[in-house]
Chains A and B, each alone.
Chain A
Amino acid sequence: MADGVKITGIPTMEELKATPGLVSDQRFEKSAVAVIECVQEIPCNPCEKACPFGAIIVGSPITNLPVIDEDKCTGCGLCLAQCPGLAIFRVEKNYTDSTSMVEFPFEYYPLPEEGETVPCGGRDGQYITDGKVLKIKKTKQMDGTTLVSVEVPKQYFMDVRTICRKGGSK
């Protein structure tokens, strides 16, 4: 079966690694960081302005892929809710010795509760593992987009990208 973002709607690990939106393995070890999963040259750049540290550059033309500067990114997470593609995630690989933190935008109701254990899914929405909801962020500035962060077993830090939607088909 052919795969890749044009066929399945999901970027493969190779496609992700080939983009300038993914930081190095060493950077993941250090602290929380943004993961930009935007692999096609589309006319879009709100992420660039969203970052108060200048860690994301799109430049000109506007169809350039967003480039992350792993040294400048503080992992603050401010860019997540500003991306209309919901394509930016915040990942802290070494949240604890055995777990990672993954934060993602979530624009559905009902929302989970902090502290709740929820089924977490991958880029295809399918169940991967259970995770604990760490935080639900909702501010006026985020304009209706909610951010949910979950704690999951460390081996899934590059796999978990959502919680399985309640009332969803799966």
Chain B
Amino acid sequence: MNNDLYTYTLRIADDSLILGQRLSELCGHGPILEEDIALTNIALDLIGQATTLFEYAATVQNEGKTADDLAFLRYEHDYKNVLLVEQTNGDFGQTIVRQWLFDTFRVLFYDALQHSSDTQLAAIAEKSLKETKYHCKHSSEWVIRLGDGTEESHSRTQDALDLLWRYSDELFFMDETDQAMIAAKVGVDLAALRPIWMERIQEVVQAATLTIPTNNWKQQGGRLGKHTEHLGFLLADLQYMQRAYPGMQW
């Protein structure tokens, strides 16, 4: 199998799965009914993306595994999502800031990936880009509303940004896998996306009257399977049925 392509696809899939799982915790508990519905929509889109990506990863892996095997039956260190998406929902400010940092990245990423020489990834990116643009508009508007809203909402949103900023750097993490995929014209050069990402983040930060944290301490490791403490608990929920009732059809 093409190891690099497998890992590359899995990393994208895991980002979608883990963030979709996080958002789905909120279904039925949203701050406003309309927002409950909107966040569930985003969760559904992400789970949908994850499903197609895992199907493709399973094909690339060629060991007879299914998308569900990949989604539900790996060990913690085999998940390759960025640390940002496994962070807890916190308050609505934290949920939205996490979403916005990620969506802003994802729009740029899919926009570039749709020109991939790998026709499968290109097609998935093209389809996912449409919905991700909508997610990004939604989360950006909320960051502005919350940042610019009341004193309380401003300070909560600033706190969320201060907390999550340290995980934003990892969105642009690249290693040999990325280099190989870029060389094969399959992958995206994330370094090239970074200035545009920063520009878009700054635009929203300004409209939201927020401040980009000066603390530039960065956390990474997710792409290599080294996670925060939060992921294990998330996986305990996610994998519960598959672990408790192994090998059954549902």
A binds B: no
